[in-house]
Structure 1
Amino acid sequence: MEEIKLNLKGLDCAGCAAKIEDKVGKLEVVKEAVLNFSTQTLIMKIENKENRDEAINEATKIVNTLEPDVIVSEQNGNQKNKNTDKCNGGCSCTGEHHHGHDHGAEDEEEDSKKKLIMLIAGAAAYVTGLAFINNETAKLIVFVIAYILVGGEVVLKALKNITKGQIFDENFLMVVATIGAFAIKEYPEAVAVMIFYQVGEMFQDKAVNNSRRSIKSLMDIRPDFANVIRDGKEVRVSPSEVAIGEEIVVKPGEKIPLDGVLVSGSGVLDTSALTGESLPREVDVNESVLSGCISKNGVLRIKVNKEFGESTVSKILDLVQNAGNKKAETEKFITKFARYYTPAVVITAALLAVVPPLVISGATFDQWIYRALSFLVVSCPCALVISIPLGFFGGIGAASKNGILVKGGNYLEALKNVDSVVFDKTGTLTKGVFKVTEVKSESDLSNDQLLEYAAYAESYSNHPIGLSIINEYGKDVDKDKVRDYEEISGHGIKIVYDGKHILAGNIKLMKRFNIVSGETESIGTVVYVAVDGEYAGHIIISDEIKEDSAKAMKSLKALGVKRTVMLTGDSRKVADVVAEKVGVDKVYSELLPGDKVNKIEELFRGKDEKANILFVGDGINDAPVLARADVGIAMGGIGSDAAIEAADVIIMNDEPSKIADAIKIARKTNRIVWQNIIFSLGVKVVILVLVAAGLGNMWEAVFADVGVALIAVLNAMRILKIKKL
């Protein structure tokens, strides 16, 4: 399945966004469509690549029909609608920024100025007619002029949309309501309501744009350039033009544009953009450095080892920007609700205009038509369809600012209901940095010989325990000398080396081959070694508990998490010591890889229906468990490709205490989203009741539309104010 991304520059109508998503999703060639209003991005999934052009063209037609002023461009492509004559392709724009900073911004600013001038002129005409003109005919003429100045654009939009079959949008409802007010001779109110509506729309648009800019600024880690060394000279180029193996220079205050290895220089890096931590990191020659960090001092020369598209900063940007495409259940519900809400209110308004005058004695059509027109104004669900997506996307942005990458609004919503947290041990609660602390021969072999046999047994291993043995051995391991290599899952390794049959693994491996060995009392991971069927000795490897693991458990308990569980393949003795020091409620040890999934299944069978289980692992060996849990968090550390692929949430600095922060942000986001839902619907219902009872007017109805939408957007922006936790 292929994914197509279109940028919709200038899409400011949330209701129209929902309609575009619905219509594009129904196209024959499109399998699935998601429109992210916060980032103005339309994602289409198609099964057949041959239908790519057709899907883009059909989607563009739908956008042009519903929102003619929106500029459609394919990410990393060209504009696809009628406005392409604005750029001849010679500009320096690339990718998702195509036409985003040149013509589009200038046109928007020009349009805003024109609207403001027309609004001021219309308001002046309105005040003149209201305060200084007494003749009724002259008054009507002045009010009509004021209405055309203020609402002419709204009327034209409504007429255009009607010709395209788009009825019941906000423009149409406002036109019907205000022209209806003219028809029943409520001239001043018709103009005043249109002025109030336009002022509200201007503030609402400004708030939405500010919110989008605030969200984007949180993720503004994209490097603008790279200083690459070519032919002995320093050349400034786009990061995407730098090849693997080339060397770049980063000066103090500049962002590191690509991942690589430091070949000369030393300095201090600001990693806060990636990890949310202000603590600087010192780097020296031969150390890996990641894109997105800022050099605080010293000139760094870096050998690039990843293309820009595969770099840490590029992956993080892509991950966060696409997070809004995975919508939360609340967001999906509001979108569906909006489809039925407006038609229901419009039908009620029609009945309100016609039925009461026919059945209530003394009721007049003028009186009930006015109430019905006020009803129409309240029927737009913009407050909800704008503020809810902005709320979730703002929560994702706030989490990113704290070094927590959430892959979608659905995962952010799931985090708020977590009542069980299950941890892997190695690399999650412990540092995963293993070191040999004891080598003890219990045979004729010397300790050095025992270590040599163990190193050759682990020669093909990528596991931290195996690597620690190889590092301790300290000599080159000639893999060609290893014969009959066999890895026995959950037990250890069997090889033939130097004519000897060697076993290296846990106590279960010894028992499997009927080798008698006493279990050691040492605390740590024990690797037992047997040579030619005889027990030879053991090696102790120790791992260090992370400084904030115990703090993480206390924070989770304070948030109301009912149980914390640790799963590990390590020995019971080691697992119990770690569990006690960290403070987890339950520990399961000596587990095979498949056993972890079985334990998660057991927890699922005993959990409440609405409660979620969160699994935290290192993102490398725990993919099946990460996938099975309601929410999977990877403690992958910055730059871990496996973690980014496997998990729903990534903690960028490996600190378990960040899990509590993620839950806090999720809960605050949820509170603000539901505040907006209750406030928006509550005000609308109250105004509808007041209007129907004759206690409300069209002014209040306009407040229930644009006023409530503005307040809801401003409330959603509070999520972005979450400071470093």
Structure 2
Amino acid sequence: MKKEYEIVNLHCGGCASKIQYELDRVENLKDVNVDFYSKKLKFTLEKDIEEKDLIEKLNKIADKVEPGTYFKKVDDDSTVSNHLNKNEDNHTHGEELISKIDLIILTVGITLFVVGLTLSKSLQKDIILIIAYGLSGYDILLNALKNIKRGKFLDENFLMSIATVGALGLGDFGEAAGVMIFYKIGEFFQDMAVNNSKKSIEKLMSIKPDFANLKNKNGSIEIVDPSEVNIGDILVVKPGERVPLDGVIISGTTTLDKSALTGESIPIMAEIGTEILSGSINIDGTIEFKVTKMYSQSTVNRIIEMVESAGSKKAQAEKFITKFARYYTPIVVLLAIIIGFGTPLLYDGNFKLWFSRALIFLVISCPCALVLSVPLTFFSSIGKGSKDGILIKGGNYLERLKNIDTVVFDKTGTLTKGSFKVTKVEVIKGTENEVLEYAKAGEFYSNHPIGKAILNYGDIKVFEWDIQGHNEKAGYGINALYNGKEILVGSKKFLEGHKIEINILEAFGTVVYVAVDSILIGRIFVEDEIKETSRKTVDELKGQGINVYMLTGDNKKTGKHIGEILGIDEDKICTNLLPQDKVNKLEEIKSRSKKGTIFVGDGINDAPVLAMADIGISMGKIGSDIAIESSDIVLMNDDPYKIIEALNLGKRNNQVVLENVGFALGVKIVVMILGVLGIANLWLAIFADVGVSVLAVLNASKILTKKSIN
């Protein structure tokens, strides 16, 4: 049973990691994810527990790690939840008030600090500096004491308290006050940077419609929640409003902005019969449309769910940093103890000197830069991808993009538009109308683009009551009973499998054969148009040293022709494939891949292959629901070139992660060494902690503001 809760009063990335660690150890909880940036807790409950008892148990754990932090049900309208919401509102108001009071107190502390430094009299100077220290760091000292009582003392509050109290003990009142003030200012800028990043991501996801204009049977308009609308209802969208659900326009014309969904900046014209997606913005005309999907299955809701759930699938880098931080801080604290007490005992007996140097170690030991910046980098990259119409379902999939040497494409609907048209009807026996009639009878229930193209061609009508039987074998063809006659419609291989001899040459293009009562009567030629960016995509993939394959059910002659147009090597074009053949072929291709393999597809028949690939990428615009569910990345506008952008985003994400890890650890190690040598002081140590954190967070968040990921 999957559970999701909102996290209230969580203000620290390191605390989120600690809560995650504690919840991972709780019995009956599986796949726990504490997301600091979306403030959501998600997990799978293996054994049914009463909701009240479960929340109480979780809240005790959260409060023990970070006092005041608790969980509440998402969008819970119950009395309990309303009470919590009121408490949260009160807390938020109180928190804002406390923040203002803290700012005033810190300002007074800074003022006293500056005044104290200008005084010459030693006693007055020391008293004012001690007061400045108390005003600027009283909350840190209190939190450190509370955490010691809880047995959770290896955090930044404890480390800063020990370091600055140690400085006071050594008589360095100015340094103690200054370091505490500098730390608080750095924390302020760090929080501001994190909040700005979170707001940027929230802005990207602000595509959820707030209301729907429901047209009643009497013609009146009623404003309702989108979740209350049913399939078949008529909705009205005015200029400037967001389309609340997916549907088909039945009245009016307009221009739609779909940039929030697909990343396409150019608005599109929409008229009667145009399919529209929820989350689009109606620019200039009033339209009416018939709803085709419930809100839970609408495009906008699926996008929000995919992006929100992406945080639960953590990359190896995120898992490593969380584990690293758990061991890193105690090790550094132990080293500080050895430096402060062991070195003078074994070396020169100068306890004051080495104790001072040990304090530098304590300040540096907080791993905030890593704990904050690495998850934020993945979060920002996933948000950036969403903005550009690339939905990445987890940090683990984003991480895999950096190691890809093979991309395998399905042809129809992926490299081609999947909008087929009949170009020729070849008659072998009977008339053209007869060939079309029997072909349409066979394709009557088909959802395949080729079947729809045949059904829409010509004026021949077929009625459902004349069809007595129908059986479709995906990838092969259709066996139907029409007006007492047995009809076969499908590939050459399908008809030959039914003992029908075909003594005509294989033709170029997609060909559908038609037989009646075991006699071949004709064949229908269908063509598909290649997408504008397909060749460019293939060329750039090959330019990056990536092997490109194409899988298709077309005959060899057709496959070779399409491959030549796209620039795919002949030995990497696989033709005459049935759905199960694609699975076998991908296994063969994967066995030759040294790094990782991407499969790109769109249809229901591609679902097994999408799931089997190292990364499955599906086309979200025309792709089937099952293909989208089976894939790891969804391209919202069906543009194959988005694969290049996704690969570049994966590389950029990896680069920023390495930059932050290298920078944070590098600076800390250098300052540690300088501290032991007596070159670095507490001021530099604070920069190595808070300053590095701020810079790392800013570096991670720049992914969101970068205009292009190419």
Q: TM-score, normalised by structure 2?
A: 0.95
Partner of 2:102: 115
Q: Which runs of 4+ in 1 moved over 4 A?
A: 78-86, 102-105, 473-476
Residue 45 of structure 1 is matched in structure 2 by: 44
AA of the residue aligned to 2:285: G
1:680 Cα shift? Answer: 0.3
Shift of 1:721: 1.7
* Partner of residue 631, structure 1: 615
1:415 aligned to 394, 401, 412, which one? 401
**In the TM superposition, what is the alpha-carbon distance from 1:228 to its structure 2 partner?**
2.5
1:83: Cα distance to partner? 11
Residue aligning to 1:723 = 707
Distance 2:145 2:79 in 1: 25
Residue 532 (str. 1) matches residue 517 (str. 2): yes
Query: CA shift at 1:183, angstroms?
Result: 1.1
1:258 corresponds to which letter in structure 2? L
| Cα displacement (A) at 1:52 | 3.9
Contact 1:420 1:562 in 2 (8 A): yes
1:517 paired residue number: 502
Task: Give the 3-state SS of the residue equivalent to 1:173 in structure 2.
Answer: helix
Q: Percent identity?
A: 47
Q: Please give the per-residue CA displacement for 1:29-65, whole angstroms capped at 9, x wherever unaligned.
A: 3123111122121112102333544332211121222
| CA distance in structure 2 between the partners assigned to 1:237 and 1:82 by the alignment | 23
Structure 2 vs 1, CA of residues 640 and 299 (structure 1 numbering), >3 Å: closer, same or farther? Answer: farther
2: CA distance, partners of 1:719 / 1:74: 32
Number of the residue aligned with 1:646: 630
> 1: CA distance between counterparts of 2:142 and 2:444?
75
Matches within 5 A, 1:301-700: 301-361=288-348, 363-443=349-429, 445-472=430-457, 474-483=459-468, 485-488=470-473, 490-520=475-505, 522-558=507-543, 560-585=544-569, 586-608=572-594, 611-637=595-621, 641-700=625-684
Q: CA deviation at 1:81?
A: 9.9
Q: Indicate the SS of the match to 1:322.
A: helix
Q: CA deviation at 1:79?
A: 9.7
**What displacement does 1:709 show?**
0.3
Q: Deviation of residue 460 (structure 1)?
A: 3.0
Give 1:127's aligned residue: 114
1:102-134 per-residue CA deviation (whole Å, 9 max, x = no partner) reads 556544432332221111111112222221251
Q: Which amino acid aligns with 1:18?
A: S
User: What is the CA–CA distance in structure 2 between the aligned matches of 1:176 and 1:630, rounded to whole Å?
Assistant: 48
Deviation at 1:640, TM superposition (A): 5.0
Shift in CA distance, 485/241, structure 1 to aligned 2, threshold 3 Å: closer
Structure 1 SS opposite 2:208: coil
The answer to whether residue 268 in structure 2 is matched with residue 281 in structure 1 is yes
Report the AA paired with residue 531 of structure 1: V
Question: In the TM superposition, what whole-angstrom CA distance separates every residue of 1:516-550 from its partner, at most 9, and x where no partner exists?
Answer: 32334542211122223322221111111111110
**Equivalent position of 1:92 in the other structure:** none
Which whole-Å CA distance do the structure 2 matches of 1:622 and 1:221 have between them? 29
- Deviation of the 1:488 alpha carbon: 4.4
Number of the residue aligned with 2:17 = 18
Aligned-pair CA distance for 1:260: 2.1
Shift of 1:429: 0.6
Say whether 1:290 aligns with 2:307.
no
Aligned 8 A contact 1:267 1:300 in 2: yes
Structure 2 residues without counterparts, runs of 5 or longer: none
1:439 partner amino acid: V
SS at match of 2:32: strand
Q: CA RMSD in A?
A: 2.1
Greater shift after overlay, 270-279 or 254-263?
Answer: 254-263
Q: 1:593 to 1:62 in 2, by over 3 A?
A: same
Q: In structure 2, what residue type is equivalent to 1:715?
A: N
State the TM-score, normalized to the length of structure 1.
Answer: 0.93
The answer to which of 232-241 and 585-594 deviates more is 232-241
Summarize the Cα distance change of 1:103–1:573 in structure 2 as closer, same or farther, 3 Å threshold. Answer: farther
In structure 1, the residue matched to 2:75 is 76
| Post-superposition offset of 1:453 | 1.2
CA contact (8 A) 2:7 2:72 kept: yes
Shift of 1:323: 1.1
Asked whether the 8 Å contact 2:600–2:616 carries over to 1, the reply is yes
Equivalences, count: 706
Of 151-160 and 316-325, more deviation after overlay is shown by 316-325
Residues 271 and 160 from structure 1, CA distance in 2 versus in 1: closer, same or farther, beyond 3 angstroms?
same
Answer with 715-724 or 374-383: which moved more. Answer: 715-724
The answer to whether residue 692 in structure 2 is matched with residue 705 in structure 1 is no
For 1:89-114, what per-residue CA distance to the aligned partner results, in whole angstroms no more than 9, with x for missing partners? Answer: xxxxxxxxxx6xx5565444323322
d(CA) in 2 for partners of 1:675 and 1:629? 29
Q: Which runs of 5 or more structure 1 residues have no equivalent in the other structure? A: 89-98
